[in-house]
């Protein structure tokens, strides 16, 4: 594996720095930046690496390979003989020190290696910063333990203090260290044991404390008798017991489902203990009961209104959102009435009431609440969406002059803050202009959209509307890189060079880490292109796509057809084609979803537990193939096959409505059913997408459709229609 990685690294360098015409050495022909000029002049082995340093690079790669195979002594032996390699000095020190940490208990060798780690930390090696930050306190603690075992207690305590100052915390390990101290200094041992009691539960520490020799424990208890104060503990305990008993009574009422008792005791608790010590415990007990009681229609909101009037607004907001998903809108409105009666200036409550009125079809009332946010809460996190919806509802009510003014305000205010949501405002402003028969202004607005946000969802829809061929537009807007005046900081330059050397050494993960700290938004196109190439050769599809996208944004177009295809790769296409054909799903739909879901990272895992290329949930996979093993979902062929089957099921269920299929794939059937009930008959398809309440799902549907447009235009030279 090591030799294969090394070979790939060397192939990369040959490709990136080879001298023949058309090679990557001609990547930036006009670039004047020192690094590129230097790397272009000769192959890297000759220019950056003498024969001796080239052999050192091989040795470094071998040492890291040993380290990854957990042969730490062998890794240290090899890495100790490596002389300096350009830009990899910190990496040599790190892997050498990390090897020592794993196999050695020698205080002197550990201390020497720790000094190397301090040096790496001070140099600020960007790709190693997190690893070094995590390893140093563990290293310091290991030295403290090694010194204590050799009875060098003063030095040991110094290293222990360093580790604790950096956040080191491990009960058993620290107790082992303190146990060594106990034979030397009982006063110090007591203080450290009290610190453990403060940071961990007494039950945990007592179990370990009881393992100390009898004489030591007796002496420590004697010291403790006058060192541990009990002042005011009785009064505090009594207060907490009374509060705790009341919560226990609420819990008992919940268990027997006595709603009247739950309400009575909850009001008593909230009156007596509005800022109680156990507030969270109370809300955890009562909130779930109320929520389930209303959703199951055992009781309605009116029944709990007197109790909810005392409730914390965060839990009221939480209840509103849950009822939005699971209950009738009239019940939601009752809770919001409580919220706004108690907290009239609660911007989130006002915003939720606006969305409720809109979902209930009461647009004039919704406008009133959205306008309240826009006029009264300009700093609110809900201001942006409220301004957009205010404009939207004026458009729906045919007040086109007002909606043009509001969309224009949204666009002007969102120049720097609203990002891609401005595209929707531009598109719908154009729609309103058309309604006022201002056709030239509408077309100019769509042209602005295409120029400012090329290949975004609404830009693609606008091109189609104006009869612009996407495939021809891509070719016409290929923009060769202007690299005549590139600028890059010394730290960024170092990171780029280090990443190149790491790829040569076969450490592609390290190269990705090294580059990930660079802000591509502030780099010139030439350097973004170079970094894209390094990502590509480091086999990191998600980072390659990200960097290619940054370059596209910077150029407002593509540098070449190859650049566009790097942004929209056809990875795993053999499997995609096979299973797409079997399921009747167009293969570019599969690629469009895969790009959005995982960026072609077969090992991707979402926060909700979705796995693999198509981000399948294990339960979804089981519904398709009951005997499937979760771990197999990271297998590309298996993942693609199951996703294709699932998509076919959804297409059948939703009568080939691709928008509904995508919304369901991302948010689930329950959410989609609500949205269809609210908006399905009220709006056309584009308007339906823009009204999806979940920001993630709204953007997801737009992104996948945009990807589908682009794949067809790039690979088939074919323009697809939204219709």
- The mean pLDDT value of the chain amounts to 86
Q: Indicate left, alpha or beta for 103 from its phi (over 0: left) and psi (-120 to 50: alpha).
A: alpha
Query: pLDDT, tens digit, for every residue of 667-715?
Result: 999 999 999 988 888 889 999 999 998 999 999 999 999 999 999 999 9
Q: Across-strand partners of 605?
A: 611
Residue in 597, 625, 687, 696 annotated catalytic: 597
Tally the C-alpha atoms within 13 A of residue 604's C-alpha that lie toward its C-beta. 24
Report helix, strand or coil for 586. coil
Spatial CB neighbours of 341, under 8 Å, sequence gap ≥ 6: 309
**CB of 528 within 8 A of CB of 551?**
yes
pLDDT value of residue 223? 62
- Interacting residues of 438 by C-beta distance below 8 A, sequence separation 6+: none
Distance CA 390, CA 406 (A): 8
For residue 38, indicate whether it is catalytic.
Answer: no
| pLDDT score of 10 | 35
Single pTM value for the model: 0.79
Render pLDDT for 648-659 as a digit per residue (tens, 0 to 9): 999 999 999 999
Provide the H-helix boundaries in 377-456.
383-396, 400-413, 421-435, 439-452
What pLDDT sits at residue 653? Answer: 95
The residue assigned the tokens 């070094």 is 132
**Quick one: pLDDT band at residue 25, thresholds 50, 70, 90?**
very low
User: 611 has which bridge partners?
Assistant: 605, 616
Tokens of 458: 């609404």
DSSP assignment of 40-67 equals HHS-HHHHT--HHHHHHHHHHHHHHHHH
Q: What is the pLDDT of residues 277-306, one digit of tens each?
A: 888 889 999 999 999 999 999 999 999 999
* pLDDT 10s digits, 71-110: 999 999 999 999 888 889 999 999 999 999 999 999 999 9
Q: Compute the distance between CA of residue 351 and CA of residue 366 in angstroms, rounded to an integer.
A: 9
9 band by pLDDT with thresholds 50, 70 and 90: very low
pLDDT band at 318 (very low <50, low <70, confident <90, very high): very high
Separation of alpha carbons 14 and 24, rounded Å: 8
Whether pLDDT at 33 is above 50: no
Sequence-distant (≥ 6) Cβ neighbours of residue 547 within 8 angstroms? 520, 528, 531, 532, 535
pLDDT higher for 247 or 405? 405
The whole-number pLDDT of residue 483 equals 67
Mean local confidence (pLDDT), 165-180: 92
């Amino acid at each position: 594996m090591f030799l294969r990685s090394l070979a790939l690294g060397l192939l990369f360098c040959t490709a990136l720095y080879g001298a023949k015409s058309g090679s990557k050495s001609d990547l930036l022909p006009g670039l004047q930046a020192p690094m590129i000029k230097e790397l272009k002049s000769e192959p890297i082995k000759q220019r950056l690496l003498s024969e001796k340093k080239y052999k050192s690079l091989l040795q470094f790669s071998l040492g890291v390979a040993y380290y990854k195979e957990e042969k730490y002594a062998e890794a240290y032996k090899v890495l100790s003989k490596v002389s300096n390699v350009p830009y990899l000095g910190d990496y040599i020190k790190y892997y050498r020190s990390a090897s020592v940490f794993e196999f050695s208990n020698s205080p002197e060798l550990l201390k020497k290696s720790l000094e190397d780690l301090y040096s790496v930390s001070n140099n600020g090696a960007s790709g190693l910063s997190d690893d070094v930050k995590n390893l140093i306190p563990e290293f310091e603690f290991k030295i403290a333990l090694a010194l204590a075992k050799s009875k060098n207690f003063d030095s040991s305590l110094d290293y222990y203090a360093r580790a604790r100052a950096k956040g080191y915390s491990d009960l058993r390990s620290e107790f082992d260290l303190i146990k060594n101290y106990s034979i030397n200094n009982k006063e110090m041992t007591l203080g450290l044991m009290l610190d453990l009691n403060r940071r961990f539960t007494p039950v945990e520490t007592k179990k370990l404390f009881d393992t100390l020799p009898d004489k030591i424990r007796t002496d420590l208890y004697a010291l403790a008798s006058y060192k541990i104060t009990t002042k005011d503990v009785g009064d505090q305990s009594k207060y907490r017991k009374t509060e705790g008993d009341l919560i226990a009574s609420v819990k008992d009422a919940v268990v027997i489902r006595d709603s009247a008792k739950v309400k009575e005791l909850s009001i008593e608790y909230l009156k007596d203990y509005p800022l109680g010590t156990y507030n969270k415990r109370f809300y955890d007990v009562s909130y779930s009961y109320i929520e389930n009681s209303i959703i199951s229609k055992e009781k309605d909101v009116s029944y709990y209104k007197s109790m909810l009037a005392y409730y914390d607004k965060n839990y009221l907001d939480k209840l509103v959102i849950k009822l939005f998903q699971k209950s009738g809108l009239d019940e939601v409105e009752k809770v919001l009435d409580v919220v706004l009666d108690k907290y009239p200036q609660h911007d989130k409550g006002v915003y939720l009431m606006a969305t409720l009125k809109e979902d209930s079809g009461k647009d004039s009332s919704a406008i009133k609440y959205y306008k309240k946010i826009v006029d009264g809460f300009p700093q609110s996190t809900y201001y942006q969406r409220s301004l957009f919806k205010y404009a939207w509802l004026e458009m729906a009510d045919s007040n086109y002059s007002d909606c043009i003014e509001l969309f224009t305000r949204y666009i002007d205010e969102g120049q720097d803050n609203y990002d891609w949501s401005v595209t929707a405002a531009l598109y719908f402003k154009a729609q309103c202009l058309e309604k006022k028969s201002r056709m030239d202004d509408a077309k100019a607005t769509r042209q602005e959209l295409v120029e400012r946000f090329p290949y975004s969802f609404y830009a693609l829809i606008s091109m189609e509307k104006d009869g612009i061929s996407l495939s021809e537009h891509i070719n016409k807007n290929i923009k060769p890189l202007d690299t005549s005046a590139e600028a890059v900081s010394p730290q960024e330059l170092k990171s780029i060079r280090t990443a190149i050397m790491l790829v040569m050494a076969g450490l592609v993960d390290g190269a990705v880490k090294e580059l990930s700290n660079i802000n591509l938004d502030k780099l010139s196109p030439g350097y973004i292109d170079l970094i894209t190439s390094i990502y590509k050769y480091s086999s990191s599809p998600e980072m390659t796509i990200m960097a290619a996208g940054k370059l596209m944004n910077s150029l407002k177009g593509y540098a070449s057809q190859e650049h566009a295809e790097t942004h929209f790769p056809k990875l795993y296409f053999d499997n995609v084609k096979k299973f797409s054909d079997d399921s009747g799903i167009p293969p570019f739909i599969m690629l469009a979803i895969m790009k959005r879901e995982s960026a072609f990272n077969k090992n991707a895992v979402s926060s909700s537990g979705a796995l693999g290329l198509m981000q399948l949930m294990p339960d979804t996979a089981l519904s398709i193939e009951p005997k499937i093993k979760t771990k197999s979902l990271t297998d590309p062929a298996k993942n693609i096959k199951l996703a294709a089957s699932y998509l076919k099921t959804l297409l059948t269920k939703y009568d080939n409505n691709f928008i509904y299929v995508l919304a369901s794939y991302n948010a689930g059937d329950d959410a989609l059913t609500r949205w269809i009930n609210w908006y399905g008959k009220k709006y056309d398809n584009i308007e339906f997408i823009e009204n999806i309440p979940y920001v993630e799902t709204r953007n997801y549907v737009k992104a996948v459709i945009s990807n589908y447009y682009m794949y067809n235009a790039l690979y088939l030279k074919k323009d697809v229609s939204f219709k």
